[in-house]
Structure formats: structure tokens, C-alpha cells
Amino acid sequence: MAVYDAGDSVTYQGTFTSGGALADPGTVRFRLEPPGQPGTTYTHAAGTITNHAVGSYSYTVLLAFGGYWGWRWEGTETVSQAHAGRDFVRYVE
């Protein structure tokens, strides 16, 4: 778990592999769950996720307020994988 300050801009990296090599899933999704709010799912197809190279993706978000933020990368179809975590954002006065 990483710790950030409210107002930080953070880039989450998602990496997908198949047989030990980087590979692109058929569908790539990133889900972000701010504290006390319903989560939002972003997709590569909608243009909200950046594809840097084969199997390498990122999503940048402004962590606007404090609390625990959940996140999850999902790949489906050709590369079915998921990676999830939770980060803490400190309140800044």
C-alpha cells in the first residue's frame, strides 16, 4: 500500500503477461474506488487508459481527498488477469 497526500496526481501502471512475455489482453479495464463512493471503471477502448507498449498500460488520477482508495486492473479474453490494491491518501490542511 502506497501513501499519498490529498491533491496528488498518481499514475497507476498495469502490466499483463502471457507465458512470461508482455501481452495485450482483448479488453483492459481499470477500476477506481474512492473512499465512501461507488467505484468507476475506465477502459482502454474508451480512450481513458494509455497503452504505452505491448502489455503496458497506465491511468492517471487526481486523488482529491483523503481515505483509502481501492484500484484494480483487469485483462480479459486473450490475457485474463487481474491486479488489485489499496492506497491511503492523507488529508492535507
Write the pLDDT tens digit of every residue in 32-73.
Answer: 999 999 999 999 888 899 999 999 999 999 999 999 999 999
Distance of alpha carbon 88 from alpha carbon 93, whole angstroms: 16
pTM: predicted TM-score of the whole model, two decimal places: 0.90
Could you tell me the residue ranges of all domains in the chain? 3-90
Query: Tens digit of pLDDT for each residue in 77-89?
Result: 989 999 999 999 9
Contact 82, 73 (CB under 8 A): yes
CATH of 3-90, one of 3.40.50.720, 3.30.420.140, 2.60.40.10, 2.40.50.140: 2.60.40.10
10: how many CB neighbours lie within 10 A of its CB?
15
What amino acid is encoded at 70 in this protein? G
Output the furthest CA–CA distance in the chain (Å, rounded). 48
